[in-house]
Amino acid sequence: MLLAFLVFCLLAMAARFVYLQAGPALPFSGSSASEVKTLLNGYDGKLIKLATVEGVDWYGAPSGQGAGAEAMKREVAAAGWRFVQQEGSGYFFVRGAEKIVITSEMWTGRYVLFRIPANTL
């Protein structure tokens, strides 16, 4: 009985290790979690482009202290868009008569990913 318990504990620890190394699933295809983590670890204050999938550019940044959201707003503003408001995970911008919504989501608890319409930045 003790042996079965020890085997179960070892398997649980191994599964947790594999999960932590791979990370949770990404909301887009074409990149692995480890590739994205490597890119995001190179953060230097500017958003990092991770992928373009079906007319959407995916960007990321570390999540601490809202730095990622501020970097995103700064870069979108530099592209000529004016920030209007935030509602939950949605950030609303306008440029003339055009309107866009950029959404964000936490990934791994350490990073924030932004779903930005393609060619916005």
Model pTM? 0.81
For the chain, give the mean pLDDT.
Answer: 87
Q: Which residue has the tokens 């990321």?
A: 60
Q: pLDDT tens digit string along 63-86?
A: 888 899 999 999 999 999 999 999
pLDDT per position as a tens digit, 91-113: 999 999 999 999 999 999 999 99
Give the count of beta carbons closer than 10 Å to the beta carbon of residue 32: 11
Which pLDDT belongs to residue 24?
86
Dihedral of CA atoms 68, 71, 72, 73 in degrees, nearest 10, equals: 120
| Cα-based angle 17, 30, 102 (whole degrees, multiple of 5) | 100
- Give residue 12's pLDDT band: very low, low, confident or very high (50, 70, 90): low
Whether 63 and 70 have beta carbons less than 8 Å apart is answered as no
